[in-house]
Amino acid sequence: MTWTLVASLIGVIGPTRARADRVGPEIPEEPEPVEPGPPVVDPDGPDTPDAPTPALPAPADPEFERPLRPTIPRSRMADIVVETPGERSPTNITVLVGLSTLALASGLLGLHFHLETKHATEAVNADTFTGRVWMPADQALVDDAARDRTRTIWLYGVGGSLLVGAIVTLIATDPDSTITVIHPRAATSSPTIPTISPVAGGAIVGTGWQF
Amino acid sequence: MRASSLLLIGLVACKTEVGYGTYLCGVEQDCPDGQACNGPDNRCVHPAVAIPFACEPQDEHEPDDVAADAFALPEMACVSQPTLLSGCLHAGESEDWVRFDVPAACTAVVARMRLSYPLAYEDVQFEIADADGTVLEMETACDASDTSLEDLGILAKCLKRTVTPGASYTIRVKTDGALSCGGACAFNRYKLSVRLETPQP
């Protein structure tokens, strides 16, 4: 009788436990033998001589017969890593925007003088006889071109330096990200303590699991 | 790196590059930096090859520095083609004199004179005078059609005057005495053309 009850409990709990384990990661492992199907309970117990031979369980559903997924020990579950990107401070953002803006402004101003220089030089540059007289206005264009060219070089240089500074600052002040590791923990594996409750004519054996 | 190279190329391309011999000399032998005025052709060239200004022998008609020694132009008809004279005022020479005769057979004659010269050197003026050198009239500005060579560095001055048939006249070509270039270019070459024509009503 007692064995029948134990077997009955195992038969009921077994499939449930297997289904609960299916949610875990799939790791190849030796499948644990699981008893299929609920047995037929003999109310008189196995020690009754005239008891009919318990009928063998009918062939189970093939779906149910397939090997169940292995149970993964909690200790082998992978850690969950959560990376939280760091945030820049308002001051840092202000510095970066300021440097970039200044670099852009210097570049645009340099481009303006660059075009002015280009215009002036194109007006006087020549490599063949022009038939024109060299006038004071031409010399003024040359002087303007030289002055604007110097400005262009300076502004491009300053703009480029500011841009490099902005990039270096961007990299150097990159805030560290916060990494959080979550260790999946199995429920406390307290020893399964069977409970035996005497009843008339026998006893009820029980125990408990966590899913 | 590539952007820097392009930027550098762009800046180099914007550098002023005026080739030698590409421009004519400006006022007072003005030329681009690093170039000098070449005397024979008034072009801006490398200083090492620049030749100082000098009057060509064929342009000298000395002695012609006074009215009595004026260089005589070939005889002209009452209505003539322009008679062209190339002259030169060398350094230290202030004036040249030229003489022309008006045919006596003409009834009414107008003399048209035109003087052209490079602007690179000292400014040149001219005036018409009688045979003794008494000045009758000064030059005036040319018509627009006579100033077409200004862009080529040539300035021109003109004079139109009714002349008496059978008379002789002189033309005085002189520097303005302003001592251009601080006196360093107190010379010039010129071309004088004289033409006789019937006055238009």
Domain limits of chain B? 15-52, 57-197
Note the ipTM here. 0.78
First-to-last C-alpha distance (Å) of chain A: 28
Q: According to the model, what pLDDT value does residue B182 have?
A: 74
Domain ranges of chain A: 2-82+197-206, 87-175
pLDDT above 70 (res B140): yes
Phi and psi, residue B123, nearest 5°: -65, 145
Choice between A163 and A210, residue whose per-residue pLDDT is larger: A163
Q: Mutating which of A132, A133, A135 best tests the B interface, going by the most B Cβ atoms within 10 A?
A: A133
Question: Which residue from A123, A126, A115 is spatially nearest to A148, judged by alpha carbons?
Answer: A115
Residues of chain A with a CB closer than 8 angstroms to some CB in chain B: 114, 117-118, 120-121, 124-136, 138-139, 142, 145-146, 149, 152-153, 156, 160
The token pair that represents A196 in the structure block: 């035996």
Residues A71-91 pLDDT 10s = 556 556 788 888 888 888 999
Contact status, residue A164 vs residue A53, Cβ threshold 8 Å: no
The Cα of A115 is separated from the nearest Cα of chain B by a number of Å equal to: 9
First-to-last C-alpha distance (Å) of chain B: 78
Half-sphere exposure of A113 (CA within 13 A, CB side): 20
Q: According to the model, what pLDDT value does residue A69 have?
A: 55
Residue B60 DSSP SS3: coil
The token pair that represents A159 in the structure block: 């703009």
Distance CA B155, CA A103 (A): 52
Confidence bin at A96 (pLDDT 50/70/90): very high
Residues A7-33 pLDDT 10s = 343 433 333 343 434 444 444 444 454
Residues B6-16 pLDDT 10s = 655 565 557 78
Q: According to the model, what pLDDT value does residue B99 have?
A: 93
Distance CA B125, CA B177 (A): 10
Counts of helices then strands in chain B (DSSP H, E): 1, 12
Report the DSSP pairing between strands B188-197 and B83-89. antiparallel
Choice between B180 and B8, residue whose per-residue pLDDT is larger: B180
> Which residue among A114, A127, A134 sits closest to B30, beta carbon to beta carbon?
A134
Contact status, residue B198 vs residue B79, Cβ threshold 8 Å: yes
Does A142 contact B13 at a Cβ distance shorter than 8 Å? no
Distance CA A140, CA A43 (A): 121
Contacts of B33 in chain A (CB under 8 A): 139, 142
Q: pTM here?
A: 0.60
The second-level CATH assignment, the architecture, of B57-197 is: Sandwich (2.60)
Distance CA A186, CA B131 (A): 134
The Cα of B89 is separated from the nearest Cα of chain A by a number of Å equal to: 22
> Which residue among A125, A149, A160 sits closest to B11, beta carbon to beta carbon?
A149
Contact status, residue B32 vs residue A139, Cβ threshold 8 Å: yes
Helix H segments across A22-89? 62-65
